[in-house]
């Protein structure tokens, strides 16, 4: 479960952004839509604790993460949050399997195997990430994001680079994984195709300006 | 809670090691240059330390308490190197008659005559007295001291190489070189084998002085004279015994006309050890040398060369340090996404710092280990090159002082990684991920 309260943020020399309050329960999904530059990614990074908000409150489960120290937040993120970025990031020198096990809070090989099976990447676990197709990379990224059985699953434009078929596949995978981990799923996107899949939606455009 | 913290730390560390190691071998071209530089720096310094340490130790051990060496005029260093260390050819011979005058000097505590003979399998055959054995605290593995001419004692290395046993015989080869003229008419019989002393004794064949004369003078057609020589005819006693057996006078005169190669002297006081050489050098046609002085000079000269080499090796190490820095710093740009990823899966800034330092440490460790092995391989080849010179063989063991090189190498790895590590620690994850 994730809940926000009066979140604001300000870049140096730029106008203050205040974000709408929202609440997502476990196994539920929320779309945050809006044009580029409206602060979608900023909001996602605030939720992930990669940035500190100017004011307001974020609550994940029972923890008020907006009050956490930086290093405490790193640990909390490792234990409770899964993130799927727009681009796939891997440690190039490690195999896909080791990339799944990369987090200090999810070094469980058995779980990696189960998740890989579910996401249909079992046969590529020993390859290096740069040998994967874009679709495989996307699935490996999702697999890594749920390795720690997260309470919160965040996705930043997960489908913008994908064709319709892959787009539908990825969004289904995200929903399934959020469901099987009982995680709150928050997707930040400007991809209108997702609106037909997820009904709950906040349009940031209407809050900014 | 603390227990969990601890387990997390362990997991962190293990994965960090894996990432660090994989990163280094992932792009070997990038890292091989700085490892190569480290290897060469370490190898050169290690080799220098090894050779210097062993040379000094060896020279000190073999010097014992020899105050003065007397031999034919020539290079003083050559005399010392030949008479004490058997590393060089002798400067020439001296008349026994003149030598004996010095040996009987009341200030002399002990005088050991040396007559260089031939060689056996490249090992020098040295005519001397029992005092020489005592000087190096020689102990017999088997057998005993020679009691008459043409009996020989062999040092431990000689025994090992030749397989010689008590009672076996061998011929000397003229001069020091292999393949010289072999004195076939004069076989030596092994009567004693010495335990290893780690001194020059290990590489010598010892016999009495008469044997050396006998072999050579016969070749020089002095046969009739020398047939009469036997051990008791010689008086090397410095106590100046006037009760000398007069029926041997003829033989002594015969012996006095003979030559020996050098005398090793120990004086009763350091003062006379300092004064005597001047007198000998001025008043006789022999030369007297203070070996400690010569060896100090030799080490001083070697030291200049060694210092130069150390500076060069130090320069290489410095460059290695820079290259570690450049490799880590340069790859930071392409690795920033990986580092950002690590942050987003739960690593804290201090873990990224440790990761980079760990990579520096691994590079240093690679450089040190391979460099150390390389220095030992180099010693192996140096030993092979100097195979004919049994006195110049080096061990491959760990040498005191090498721990400083180890620490230095690791410090270079760590310090070179500090700035890149600091940069890695301060990466703004959100910014890096947003920019793509």
Highest mean pLDDT among A132-141, B261-270, B365-374, B384-393: B365-374
CB-CB under 8 Å, A50 with B345: no
Mean pLDDT of A126-132: 92
pLDDT band at B164 (very low <50, low <70, confident <90, very high): confident
Is residue A72 in a domain?
yes
Q: How many structural domains are present in chain A?
A: 1
CB burial of residue B17 (10 Å; 0-12, 13-18, 19+): middle
Q: What is the pLDDT of residues A22-81, one digit of tens each?
A: 999 999 999 999 887 788 889 999 999 999 999 999 999 999 999 999 889 999 999 999
Residue B49 belongs to domain spanning: 2-59+299-434
The per-residue DSSP string of B219-237 comes to HTT-HHHHTT--GGG----
Whole-number pLDDT of residue B180: 64
Does B234 share its domain with B345? Answer: no
Instruction: Check residues B226 and B121 and name the one with the higher pLDDT.
Output: B121
Q: Which of A35-44, B248-257, B327-336 has the lowest mean pLDDT?
A: B248-257
- Percent of chain B residues past pLDDT 90, beyond the cut: 32
Interface of B with A in 325-344 (CB under 8 A): 337-338, 340-344
Is residue A112 in a domain?
no
With a CB cutoff of 8 Å and minimum separation 6, the contacts of B361 are B410, B413, B414, B417
On the question of pLDDT at A109 being above 60, the answer is yes
Contacts of A75 in chain B (CB under 8 A): 8, 346, 348
Q: Which of B133-137, B229-233, B357-361, B416-420 has the lowest mean pLDDT?
A: B229-233
Mean pLDDT of B45-64: 86
Does B226 share its domain with B322? Answer: no
Contacts of B348 in chain A (CB under 8 A): 70-71, 74-75
Does B282 share its domain with B312? Answer: no
Distance from CA of B8 to the nearest CA of A (A): 7
Alpha-carbon Rg for chain A in angstroms: 17
Contacts of B11 in chain A (CB under 8 A): 104, 107
Whole-number pLDDT of residue B291: 92
ipTM score: 0.92
Torsions phi, psi of B389, nearest 5?
Answer: -100, 95
Q: Quick one: closest CA in B to A145, which residue?
A: B345
- Supply the mean pLDDT for chain B: 83
Is residue B129 in a domain?
yes
Among residues B257, B289, B321, which one ends one of the domains? B289
Contacts of A79 in chain B (CB under 8 A): 346
CB-CB under 8 Å, A89 with B338: yes
From the list A51, A75, A107, the residue facing B348 with the nearest CB is: A75
Spatial separation of the C-alpha atoms in residues B112 and B134, rounded to whole Å: 11
Cβ–Cβ contact B19 with A under 8 A = yes
Mean pLDDT of B345-360: 92
Residue A202 belongs to domain spanning: 2-88+150-206
Contacts of A143 in chain B (CB under 8 A): none
CB-CB under 8 Å, B11 with A74: no
**Four-CA torsion B211, B214, B219, B223, nearest 10 degrees:** -170
CB-CB under 8 Å, A45 with B25: no
CB-CB under 8 Å, B349 with A51: no
Distance from CA of A89 to the nearest CA of B (A): 7
Whole-number pLDDT of residue B224: 40
On the question of pLDDT at B240 being above 70, the answer is no
Torsions phi, psi of A62, nearest 5?
Answer: -100, -5
CB-CB under 8 Å, B12 with A104: yes
Among residues B270, B289, B308, which one ends one of the domains? B289
Contacts of B424 in chain A (CB under 8 A): none
Is residue A177 in a domain?
yes
Between strands A184-189 and A29-33, the pairing is parallel
Does B8 share its domain with B139? Answer: no
Is residue A114 in a domain?
no
Considering Cα of A188, then A193, then A196, then A202, what sign does the dihedral take? positive
Interface of B with A in 143-172 (CB under 8 A): none
Q: Which of A39-53, A123-137, B203-217, B222-236 has the lowest mean pLDDT?
A: B222-236
From the list A50, A75, A86, the residue facing B429 with the nearest CB is: A50
Q: How many structural domains are present in chain B?
A: 2
Does B318 share its domain with B354? Answer: yes
Q: How far apart are the first and last CA of chain A?
A: 29
**Test the A interface: residue of B331, B433, B435, B436 with most A CBs within 10 Å:** B433
Does B82 share its domain with B214? Answer: yes
Cβ–Cβ contact B10 with A under 8 A = no
The per-residue DSSP string of B116-162 comes to EEEEETTEEEEEE-HHHHHHTT--EEEE----STTEEEE-HHHHHHH
Whole-number pLDDT of residue A170: 86
Whole-number pLDDT of residue B233: 43
On the question of pLDDT at B249 being above 50, the answer is no
Is residue A116 in a domain?
no
Angle at alpha carbon of residue B192, lines to B186 and B193, rounded to 5°: 115
Spatial separation of the C-alpha atoms in residues B149 and B127, rounded to whole Å: 10
| B172 three-state secondary structure | strand
With a CB cutoff of 8 Å and minimum separation 6, the contacts of B113 are B96, B99, B103, B128, B129, B209, B236, B260, B262, B263
CB-CB under 8 Å, B23 with A50: no
CATH number at residue A197: 3.40.50.300
Is residue A33 in a domain?
yes
CB-CB under 8 Å, A94 with B19: yes
Is residue B294 in a domain?
no
On the question of pLDDT at B262 being above 80, the answer is yes
Does B83 share its domain with B30? Answer: no
Is residue B354 in a domain?
yes
pLDDT band at B4 (very low <50, low <70, confident <90, very high): low
Does B336 share its domain with B264? Answer: no
Among residues B234, B264, B289, which one ends one of the domains? B289
**Test the B interface: residue of A91, A98, A145 with most B CBs within 10 Å:** A91
Q: Which of A51-60, B215-224, B304-313, B345-354 has the lowest mean pLDDT?
A: B215-224
Mean pLDDT of B153-173: 87
Contacts of A41 in chain B (CB under 8 A): 434
Whole-number pLDDT of residue B10: 58
Mean pLDDT of A157-175: 86
Q: What is the pLDDT of residues B289-324, one digit of tens each?
A: 999 999 888 888 888 888 888 889 889 999 999 999
Mean pLDDT of B47-74: 87
What DSSP element (H or E) covers A79?
helix A70-80
pLDDT band at B215 (very low <50, low <70, confident <90, very high): confident
Contacts of B341 in chain A (CB under 8 A): 89-91, 102
CB-CB under 8 Å, B347 with A45: no
Q: What is the pLDDT of residues B404-421, one digit of tens each?
A: 999 999 999 999 999 999
Does the predicted model carry a pTM greater than 0.80?
Answer: no
Contacts of B352 in chain A (CB under 8 A): none
Whole-number pLDDT of residue B103: 87
Q: Which of A18-27, B248-257, B294-303, B368-377 has the lowest mean pLDDT?
A: B248-257
Contacts of A157 in chain B (CB under 8 A): none
Instruction: Check residues A169 and B185 and name the one with the higher pLDDT.
Output: A169
Spatial separation of the C-alpha atoms in residues A201 and A208, rounded to whole Å: 16
Cβ–Cβ contact B350 with A under 8 A = yes
């Amino acid at each position: 479960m994730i809940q926000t309260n009066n979140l604001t943020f300000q870049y140096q020399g730029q106008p203050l952004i205040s974000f709408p309050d929202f609440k997502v329960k476990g196994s539920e999904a929320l779309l945050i839509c809006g044009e580029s530059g409206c602060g979608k990614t900023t909001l996602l990074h605030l939720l992930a604790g990669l940035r500190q908000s100017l004011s307001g409150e974020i609550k994940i489960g029972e923890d008020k993460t907006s009050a956490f120290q930086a290093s405490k937040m790193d640990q909390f993120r490792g234990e409770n949050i899964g993130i799927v970025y727009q681009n796939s990031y891997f440690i190039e020198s490690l195999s896909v399997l080791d990339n799944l096990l990369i987090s200090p809070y999810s070094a469980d090989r058995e779980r990696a195997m189960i998740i890989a099976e579910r996401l249909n990447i079992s046969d590529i676990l020993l390859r290096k990430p740069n040998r994967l197709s874009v679709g495989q990379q996307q699935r490996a990224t999702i697999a890594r994001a749920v390795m720690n059985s997260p309470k919160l699953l965040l996705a930043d434009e997960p489908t913008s680079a994908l064709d319709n078929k892959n787009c539908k596949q990825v969004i289904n995978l995200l929903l399934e994984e959020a469901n099987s981990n009982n995680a709150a799923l928050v997707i930040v996107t400007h991809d209108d195709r997702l609106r037909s899949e997820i009904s709950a939606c906040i349009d940031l455009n209407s809050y900014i300006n | 809670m603390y227990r969990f913290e601890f387990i997390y730390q362990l997991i962190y560390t293990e994965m960090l090691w894996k990432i660090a190691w994989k990163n280094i071998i992932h792009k070997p071209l990038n890292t091989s240059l700085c490892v190569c530089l480290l290897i060469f720096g370490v190898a050169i310094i290690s080799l220098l330390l090894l050779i210097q340490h062993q040379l000094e130790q060896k020279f000190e051990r073999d010097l014992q308490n020899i105050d003065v060496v007397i031999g034919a005029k020539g290079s003083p260093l050559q005399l010392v190197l030949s008479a004490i260390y058997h590393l060089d050819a002798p400067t020439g011979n001296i008349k026994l008659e003149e030598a004996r005058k010095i040996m009987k000097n009341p200030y002399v505590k002990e005088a050991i005559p040396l007559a260089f003979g031939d060689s056996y399998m490249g090992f020098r055959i040295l005519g001397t007295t029992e005092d020489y054995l005592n000087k190096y605290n020689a102990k017999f593995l088997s057998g005993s001291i020679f009691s008459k001419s043409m009996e020989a004692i062999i040092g431990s290395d000689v025994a090992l190489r030749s397989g010689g046993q008590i009672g076996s015989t061998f011929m000397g080869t003229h001069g020091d070189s292999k393949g010289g003229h072999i004195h076939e008419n004069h076989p030596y019989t092994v009567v004693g084998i010495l335990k290893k002393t780690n001194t020059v004794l290990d590489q010598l064949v010892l016999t009495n002085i008469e044997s050396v004369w006998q072999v050579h003078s016969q070749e020089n057609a002095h046969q009739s004279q020398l047939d009469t020589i036997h051990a008791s005819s010689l008086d090397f006693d410095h106590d100046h015994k006037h009760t000398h057996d007069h029926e041997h006078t003829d033989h002594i005169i015969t012996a006095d006309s003979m030559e020996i190669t050098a005398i090793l002297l120990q004086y009763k006081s350091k003062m006379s050890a300092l004064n005597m050489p001047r007198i000998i050098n001025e008043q006789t046609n022999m030369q007297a040398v203070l070996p400690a002085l010569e060896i100090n000079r030799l080490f001083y000269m070697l030291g200049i060369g060694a210092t130069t080499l150390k500076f060069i090796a130090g320069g290489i190490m410095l460059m290695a340090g820079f290259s570690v820095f450049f490799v880590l710093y340069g790859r930071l740009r392409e690795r920033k996404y990986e580092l950002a990823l690590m942050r987003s899966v739960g690593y804290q800034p201090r873990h990224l710092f440790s990761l980079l330092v760990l990579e520096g440490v691994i590079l240093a460790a690679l450089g040190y280990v391979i460099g150390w092995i390389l220095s030992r391989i180099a010693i192996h080849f140096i030993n092979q090159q100097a195979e004919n010179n049994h006195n110049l063989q080096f061990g491959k063991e760990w040498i005191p002082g090498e721990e400083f090189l180890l620490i230095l190498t690791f410090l270079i790895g760590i310090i070179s990684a500090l700035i890149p590590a600091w940069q890695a620690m301060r990466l703004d994850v959100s910014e890096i991920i947003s920019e793509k």
